[in-house]
Amino acid sequence: MEIVDYSKLPMDQQGRLLGRLMRIVSETYEFRRWESGDQLIGLPDDDGMTLVFFGDPIAPARCATEIGRALQSYPEMTLRMGLHSGPVYRMRSIDARAGVSGEGIKTAQRIMALGDAGHILVSKPVADTLNHLGTWSKCLTDLGDRELTPGSRLQLFNLCTGEVGNPDQPRAITGSLVPSSAASGARLTGPKKLRPVLVVATVAVVAALIAGYVILKPKAQSSRPIRTTEFAETFTSLNQWEVPRAGGWSFANDSLQVDNQPQIGYARDVNFADFTMEFHLKLIDGGGAAWALRVKDPNNYYLFYLCGPNGMNPNTFLTYVVRDGKLDQQTAIKPVVHLVTGGEYQISVTATNNQIVHKIKNDTPSPEFELDEAGEFRNLGLFVDSDNTYPAGSIGFRTFGAEKFVVYALFVRPPNFKAPE
C-alpha cells in the first residue's frame, strides 16, 4: 500500500501521515489477529507499507477494507493498494529482522502501481478465492488482462464494496487493457518504479485447494410443505444435507465438523415455520460457530454467530438477516456464559412467528467464573424481525472465517411435539 502523491508533501507532513498509517494498520482486527501467530510480516517503507499474510487467503482483502473504512476519518490521506497471491520467501536481514522477497511481492507491486487514489486492485488468483467465499464476488469488477512484464500476462480486478474502494477504472490502464476472453500479444508495461503493496502469500497446500474449487451455482431450495414431524440428526452421514461444494464439512463419531467454510450447508428436505431446536456445540479453536434458521435458499436466511475468544468479535453473540447473500447485522450482545477454546455448550432455540429466542447451557464451566452454572440454560438472546422476512425454512451451519467447530445431537421439532422420554 502506498500514500498517493507522498513525494509532493512537505517533510513534516510525510512523517505525520506515515505514523498515522502505521497506527491505522496496527489497529485493524486482521493485523492483530495474525501478527501474534507468526502468520504476518509487516514492512514499512518510505511512502507506504508491505503486509504479507501466510495461511489465510482472505485476510488481505479483509485488512484492506478495514484500512479503507478507517481512512474515511482522514480525507487528507489517500492510499492505493494491490493484492496478489503467490510465492514468497522468508528471510532475515543483517540485523536479524524478519523480511520477505520473491516474485509474488513484485507482481503485487506492479498491480498496485496501476491504481489511482482509493483503488484496491487484485490479481486473478486472489479474485478466484474471493469469488467462492461470502459476498466478495459482487464487489469485483473485471478489468481484463494486462502484460505486467514481457511475456507474463495477468487478469486484474477492481475491488470496491460501495463503502471502500474506487469504482472508477484506473487511469493508467484506461483503454490499454485487453479483455480476458480475447487477449492480444501487444506489450503493455507498467511503471518502472515498484511500490510496497498489500500481498497475501499462501503455502502450496492452500494454493492446491483453491485450484480445486469448482464454480457451480448452488441449487435454490424449492417450496416445500411445512414439516409436522421431528427432524433428528446424529450425523452418521451427510445424506440429508446440501453440503458446500468447496468442502469444509465432514462427519465422524456421530458429529458434524465445520472447518473454515463461510458458505452455508443446510438440511435438504426440512421446512419449519414455528419450531424448537437443540444441539450440542464444541468450539474447537475458540473462533466460534454460526448457524442459520428459516433458510429459504443459500443466500437468504437468518444467521446467528456465537463468536468465541479467538473470533473476529471476541465473546459476542451476533444476529444477522442475510438477503441475497448480503449480511445485515441486527444485534450484538455479550453472552452470559464464558466462552473458551475447546468449550462445549448446548444451544436451545424457540421460533414463534417473528420472534426467535436463544438459550445456552455451559457443559464445561470454569471455576474462575461463577456465572457459568453447569446444567442450567441461560438466556442468550431474543431476536424480533418486525418484517417477518423469513416465515419458514430450513436450518444450516457455516463459519464467518477460519473457525472450526463441531455439532452433535441435533433435533428440530414442530409445535406441540411431545419429546420421547
Report the C-alpha gap between 284 and 307 in whole angstroms.
Answer: 12
Helix (H) or strand (E) holding 250: strand 249-252
Q: How many domains does the chain have?
A: 2
294 burial type by CB count under 10 A (0-12 exposed, 13-18 middle, 19+ buried): buried
What residue ranges in 75-139 does DSSP mark as E strands?
79-83, 89-92, 98-101, 120-123
Question: Of 179, 211, 243, at which residue does a domain stop?
Answer: 211
In a domain, 421, yes or no: no
In a domain, 207, yes or no: yes
In a domain, 65, yes or no: yes
The three cell numbers of residue 27 are 489497529
Question: Of 211, 245, 264, at which residue does a domain stop?
Answer: 211
Question: Taking a C-beta distance cutoff of 8 angstroms, is the pair 312, 332 a contact?
Answer: no
The three cell numbers of residue 140 are 469485483
Shared domain check, 179 and 235: no
In a domain, 220, yes or no: no
What pLDDT does 95 receive?
A: 53
Per DSSP, the three-state class of 178 is: strand
Q: Which domain holds residue 265?
A: 231-413
The CATH number assigned to the domain holding 265 equals 2.60.120.560
Sign of the CA dihedral with 103 first, then 198, 327, and 408 last: positive
Shared domain check, 194 and 81: yes
In a domain, 223, yes or no: no
In a domain, 205, yes or no: yes
Shared domain check, 131 and 175: yes
What pLDDT does 96 receive?
A: 53
Report the C-alpha gap between 392 and 152 in whole angstroms.
Answer: 52
What pLDDT does 285 receive?
A: 92
In a domain, 225, yes or no: no
Shared domain check, 252 and 166: no
What pLDDT does 8 receive?
A: 86
Shared domain check, 167 and 287: no
The CATH number assigned to the domain holding 140 equals 3.30.70.1230
pTM value > 0.85: no
In a domain, 219, yes or no: no
Shared domain check, 45 and 152: yes
Report the C-alpha gap between 5 and 290 in whole angstroms.
Answer: 43
Shared domain check, 254 and 129: no
Shared domain check, 275 and 199: no
Shared domain check, 184 and 38: yes
Question: Of 149, 179, 211, at which residue does a domain stop?
Answer: 211
Shared domain check, 235 and 144: no
In sequence order, the 6+-apart residues with CB closer than 8 A to the CB of 41 are: 51, 52, 54, 90, 98, 99, 100
Shared domain check, 262 and 197: no
Report the C-alpha gap between 312 and 108 in whole angstroms.
Answer: 26
Per DSSP, the three-state class of 210 is: helix
What pLDDT does 193 receive?
A: 40
What pLDDT does 181 receive?
A: 38
> Digits of tens for pLDDT over the chain (421 positions)?
999 988 888 887 888 888 888 888 888 878 887 876 678 888 877 788 889 988 778 889 989 988 988 888 888 889 999 999 888 877 765 555 666 777 888 888 899 999 999 999 999 999 998 887 667 888 899 999 988 888 788 999 999 988 889 999 998 887 544 444 333 333 333 333 444 445 544 333 333 223 333 333 344 444 578 998 999 998 988 989 999 987 899 998 889 999 999 999 999 889 999 999 999 999 999 999 999 999 999 999 999 999 999 887 889 999 999 999 888 889 889 888 889 999 999 999 999 999 999 999 998 765 554 444 556 889 999 999 989 999 999 999 999 888 999 999 999 999 987 655 5
For residue 351, the one-letter residue type is A
Shared domain check, 360 and 258: yes
